[in-house]
Amino acid sequence: MRPNSGAGRRYLALGASGIVALSLAACGGDDPETPGTGETEGGGTATGELVFAGSAEPVVIDGAWVSDGESIRVIRQIFEGLVTTEAGGTDIQPALATEWTTTDDGLEWTFSLQDGVTFHDDTPFNAEAVCFNFDRWYNFEGPIAQSASSSYYYQTVFGGFAENDAAYAESLGESLYESCEATDDTTAVITLTRPSSTFLTALSLPAFSIASPTALEEFGADDVGGDGEAPTFDGTYGYEHPTGTGPYAFTEWERGVRVVLTANADYWGENQPSVETLIFVAIADGPARRTALETGEIDGYDLVDPADATALEDAGFTLLQRPAFNVGYIGFNSSIPPLDNPDVRKAVAYAVNKENLLSTKYPEGAQVATQFQPPELFGWSDSVEEYAYDPAMAEQLLADSGVANPTIEFWYPTDVSRPYMPDPEGNFELIKADLEAVGFTVNSQSAPWNPDYLAANQAGTQQMYLLGWTGDFGDPDNFIGTFFQTQQAQWGFNEPEIFDALDAAEAETDEDTRVGLYAEINQMIMEFVPGVPYVHTQPAIAFRAGIDGYEPSPVNNEDFALVTVTE
């Protein structure tokens, strides 16, 4: 998942509005009539309501335009894709497609579709609807729709559009997607321009969920405005009429207050929703989320502060942990001296006491990272150079490097807490102390996370920085491919050997061969030391007692239809 969620820009405003939302939601919950209203509306058996708090509002409820977790959480309930990930894992399972086959050259994919499914607006789901959606993404045009701030996931997976805008001539290439044909109502054939090992896995992303063609057209889903940096969505689709096939249907979005979803009584799938009304609110402040849970204003929340974990469990709340599917790292811009010197980079790697950092600042379950991808994912190598804490070695390397008075500008973000970095300032202070102990001079630099910090990072002006990544789907390409497949300003290095190896591994379609290729690449990367990965964490979610069935997912594919509520 991309770290720069557009939602963060409204971070402060939402803090206050989230509180308002809570008081409103709480009033609703106390109303004895609420559970009854559901039964009169549809034939479903779902009852009751559940209020869940994230840290920000969705940006827009349309998978094609978002890359942040808060939008995706809501989108996952309303929409489905052709395939999905298993509950609690990363294996690919059928969703709207029941089965699929591919030709030997890997270019033609035939998807058999679920029969008898309708969208929430009663538009039938069929092969034409599937092709409509693929053609929609492929034909996004103009500098706003094609900017990385809007159609990010489409670009990372498909690489280009029907007509690439001149503004992105450098970054966009030939599209992986060529065409889609509805051979009959329940068969869609998708043709690619080249084989891709990540195509099917990537289709589990909410960015590629299938939306009702009727609603997309009627409510102007493709009307974008603003600019490439900060796109705006001018149609009402993503705010008032998101229409999918999922277990929950969109009811209303009181902007700045809450998003309300209602159980889809005609849901086709196996997991019928048992909670009638699902309400998402935004509470930006971590301690405020905890207080809201403790006072009963919400039923659960995401991004539990590690410091609160024990207290919440002792008080009878349920704490669930997502499998570690992220990495927190110290990034280097290897083009800025003295970090252009491999000995200096390795000195940093040896100087940082990762075990101490993890035990001090992370909840139980956090693992020391040795490379830029979690061990759960294939391609992880057990024979990379590990740079275990060794200050003497760091001092030796610094002496050998010939750099006198090594001085580093070290950046950390403020106003943010990420799963891989609950307290960036704390991490910063510990790492800084470690570096100073072996003879570095560290200049402290900080900036608010969004947009200043991330913008400076992408522009490559930060010499050394704290950052991390949460995986979107179960493929190493989504980790090391994202970081190192091309020359990027924030890393600042140009190592064609690494770039080419990653290109080859992505194009390879044999799974077993890929495992070996990625393991080798991980070793190459850690030999170069473009940064110091130090942690994989298990982010926690909290619920009040009586909420059951929630299945934490490494890729945040969490289905509220599985959740049951008892008072």
Partner 1 sequence: MSLSEAEARVDTAVAAEDVGGSLLKEAWRRLRRDPVAITGGAMVALFVLVAVIGPWIAPYGPSDRAGAVTPTMIPGPSSQFWFGLDDLGRDELSRVILGARQSLLVGVVSLVLGMIGGLTLGVLAGALGGWVDSLIMRIIDIVLAVPGLLFAIGVAATLGRSLQSVMIAIAVVNVPIFARLLRGQMLSQREADYVSAATSVGLRRRVVVFRHILPNSISPVIVQGTLTLATAIIDAAGLAFLGLGGTDPSVPEWGRMLADSQDYLSGAIHLAIFPGLAIVFAALGFTLFGERLREALDPKYRR
Instruction: Name the residues that contact partner 1, by CB under 8 A.
Output: 286-287, 305-311, 356, 359-363, 414-415, 422-423, 425-426, 428-430, 432-433, 436, 444-446
Residue among 66, 67, 31 nearest 49 (CA) = 31
Distances (CA, A) of 40 to 25, 126, 252, 278, 385: 21, 30, 19, 17, 63
Q: How many CB atoms lie within 10 A of CB 567?
A: 5
Residue among 204, 210, 208, 209 nearest 475 (CA) = 204
3-state secondary structure of 335: coil
Comparison of 194 and 432: residue with beta carbon closer to partner 1: 432
Comparison of 248 and 428: residue with beta carbon closer to partner 1: 428
Q: How many CB atoms lie within 10 A of CB 479?
A: 26
**CA-CA-CA-CA torsion sign (230, 232, 237, 241):** positive
Evaluate whether 182 touches 127 at the Cβ level (below 8 Å): yes
Q: In this structure, which amino acid lies at residue 436?
A: E
CB-based burial, 60-71: b 16+ in 10 Å, e otherwise: bbbbbbbbbbbb
CA angle, 251 then 257 then 263, to 5°: 25
Residue 224 to residue 386: CA distance in whole angstroms: 46
| Smallest distance, partner 1 to C-beta of residue 312, A | 10
| Smallest distance, partner 1 to C-beta of residue 363, A | 6
Comparison of 281 and 442: residue with beta carbon closer to partner 1: 442
| Smallest distance, partner 1 to C-beta of residue 433, A | 4
Evaluate whether 80 touches 94 at the Cβ level (below 8 Å): no
Residue among 8, 112, 2 nearest 58 (CA) = 8
| Smallest distance, partner 1 to C-beta of residue 456, A | 14
| Smallest distance, partner 1 to C-beta of residue 422, A | 8
Residue 462 to residue 412: CA distance in whole angstroms: 10
| Smallest distance, partner 1 to C-beta of residue 114, A | 45
Token pair belonging to 187: 């068969």
Comparison of 276 and 308: residue with beta carbon closer to partner 1: 308
| Smallest distance, partner 1 to C-beta of residue 394, A | 16
Q: How far apart are the first and last CA of the chain?
A: 34
Comparison of 288 and 336: residue with beta carbon closer to partner 1: 288
- What kind and span of H or E run contains 443? strand 441-448
Comparison of 305 and 343: residue with beta carbon closer to partner 1: 305
Comparison of 89 and 448: residue with beta carbon closer to partner 1: 448
Evaluate whether 331 touches 464 at the Cβ level (below 8 Å): yes
| Smallest distance, partner 1 to C-beta of residue 440, A | 13
Residue 225 to residue 240: CA distance in whole angstroms: 17
Residue 57 to residue 461: CA distance in whole angstroms: 30
Residue 143 to residue 148: CA distance in whole angstroms: 10
Token pair belonging to 137: 């993404």
Comparison of 311 and 455: residue with beta carbon closer to partner 1: 311
Comparison of 359 and 383: residue with beta carbon closer to partner 1: 359
| Smallest distance, partner 1 to C-beta of residue 307, A | 4
Comparison of 38 and 422: residue with beta carbon closer to partner 1: 422
| Smallest distance, partner 1 to C-beta of residue 362, A | 7
Comparison of 195 and 451: residue with beta carbon closer to partner 1: 451
Q: How many CB atoms lie within 10 A of CB 37?
A: 14
Residue among 352, 370, 371 nearest 430 (CA) = 352
Extract the runs of DSSP E, i.e. beta strands, from 147-247: 177-184, 187-192, 224-226, 231-233
| Smallest distance, partner 1 to C-beta of residue 344, A | 21
Comparison of 267 and 428: residue with beta carbon closer to partner 1: 428
| Smallest distance, partner 1 to C-beta of residue 413, A | 12
Residue 102 to residue 485: CA distance in whole angstroms: 26
| Smallest distance, partner 1 to C-beta of residue 448, A | 9
Indicate the length of the chain as a whole number: 567
Evaluate whether 226 touches 497 at the Cβ level (below 8 Å): no
Comparison of 340 and 415: residue with beta carbon closer to partner 1: 415
In degrees to the nearest 10, what's the CA dihedral of 49, 251, 68, 237? 180
